[in-house]
Amino acid sequence: MALKELYNQWQHETLPSHLAEELEAIATDEKAIEDCFYQYVSFGTGGMRGLLGVGTNRINIFTIRRVAEGLARFIESSGEVAKRRGVVIAYDTRHFSYDFAVETARVLGAHGITSYVYKESRPTPQLSFTVRELQAFAGVVITASHNPKQYNGFKVYGEDGAQLVPSGANAIIEHMNQIADIFEIEALSTEVLEQQGLLHWILTDIDEKYMDHLLTLQNNAEIDVNMKIVYTPLHGAGLVPVTDGLKEFGFKQVYLVEQQAVQDGAFPTVPYPNPEEAAAFSLAIELGQQVGADLLLATDPDADRLGVAVRSGDTYELLTGNQLGALLLHYILHTKQVNGTLPKNGVMLKTIVTSELGAVIAKQFGVTTVNTLTGFKYIAEKIAEFEVSEAYSYVFGYEESYGYLIETFVRDKDAVQVALKVAEMAAYYTAQGKTLLHALDELYEQYGYYQEALVSKVFEGKDGQEQMIAILNGYREQLPTEIAGVGVVRIEDYLTSIATQSDGHTEPILLPKENVLKFMLADHSWIAIRPSGTEPKCKFYFGVVKPSKAQADEAIARLKEYFA
Instruction: Give yes or no for residue 534 having a pLDDT over 70.
Output: no
Residues 39-43 have a mean pLDDT of 93
Q: What pLDDT score was predicted for residue 460?
A: 79
pLDDT at 221: 81
- Contact predicate 303/236, CB 8 Å: yes
Q: What are phi and psi of 427, to 5 degrees?
A: -70, -30
What's the pLDDT tens digit per position in 239-276? 999 999 999 999 999 999 999 999 999 999 998 999 99
Which own/partner pairs from 406-409 qualify as long-range (CB within 8 Å, at least 24 positions apart)?
Answer: 406/217, 406/328, 406/332, 407/213, 407/216, 407/217, 408/383, 409/129, 409/132, 409/213
Q: Are 282 and 307 in contact (CB under 8 A)?
A: no
With H, G, I as helix, E, B as strand and everything else as coil, classify residue 138.
strand
Rounded CA separation 545/304 (Å): 29
Of the candidates 266, 255, 260, the one whose C-alpha atom is nearest the C-alpha of residue 282 is 260
Cβ contacts of 451 within 8 Å, gap of 6 or more? 543, 544, 545, 546, 549, 552, 553, 555, 556
Mean pLDDT of the chain: 96
Say if residue 4's pLDDT is above 90: no
Helix (H) / strand (E) containing 551: helix 549-562
Q: Strand pairing partners for 488? A: 521
pLDDT per residue over 297-338, tens digit each? 999 999 999 999 999 999 999 999 999 999 999 999 999 999
Mean pLDDT for 339-347 is: 97
Active centre residues (catalytic): 145
Instruction: Please enumerate in sequence order all residues whose Cβ is within 8 A of that of 394, keeping only pairs 6 or more positions apart, or say none.
Output: 346, 347, 349, 383, 386, 408
Tens digits of residue pLDDT in 417-476: 999 999 999 999 999 999 999 999 999 999 999 999 999 998 877 777 888 888 899 999
Question: How many Cβ atoms are within 10 Å of 82's Cβ, its own excluded?
Answer: 18
pLDDT over threshold 90, residue 135:
yes
Bridge partners for 8 per DSSP:
none
CA dihedral 253, 129, 141, 280 (to 10 degrees): 20
Q: Is a pLDDT exceeding 70 seen at residue 99?
A: yes
**Amino acid 45: pLDDT:** 80
Q: For the chain, what percent of residues have pLDDT higher than 70? A: 99
Question: CB–CB of 87/136 below 8 Å?
Answer: yes
- Of the pLDDT bands very low, low, confident and very high (cuts 50, 70, 90), residue 391 is very high
pLDDT tens digits along 161-195: 999 888 889 999 999 999 999 999 999 999 999 99
| Residue length of the chain | 564
Q: What percent of the chain has pLDDT over 90?
A: 91
Query: Is the model's pLDDT at 414 over the cut of 70?
Result: yes
Q: Is the pLDDT of residue 1 over 80?
A: no
Amino acid 533: pLDDT: 67
Using CA atoms, how far apart are residues 73 and 367, in angstroms rounded to an integer?
43
Under the banding of pLDDT at 50, 70 and 90, the label for residue 218 is very high
Instruction: Region of 504 please: left (phi>0), alpha (psi -120 to 50) or beta.
Output: left
What pLDDT score does 74 carry? 97
Q: Which residues does 402 contact at the CB level (< 8 Å), separation at least 6? A: 275, 276, 300, 305, 306, 307, 321, 324, 415
* Orientation of helix 436-447 relative to helix 415-431, angle to 10°: 90
Distance between CA atoms of residues 268 and 503, nearest Å: 55
Q: What is the mean predicted confidence (pLDDT) over 156-160?
A: 96
Q: Averaged over 479-492, what is the pLDDT? A: 95
Q: What does residue 472 show for φ and ψ, rounded to 5 degrees?
A: -65, -45
**Pairing relationship of beta strands 346-351 and 368-372 according to DSSP bridges:** parallel
Would you say residue 543 has pLDDT above 70?
Answer: yes
All structural domains of the chain: 39-202 (3.40.120.10), 205-447 (3.40.120.10), 449-562 (3.30.310.50)
Contacts of 207 (CB under 8 A, 6+ apart): 122, 126, 240, 241, 244
| pTM for the full predicted model | 0.94
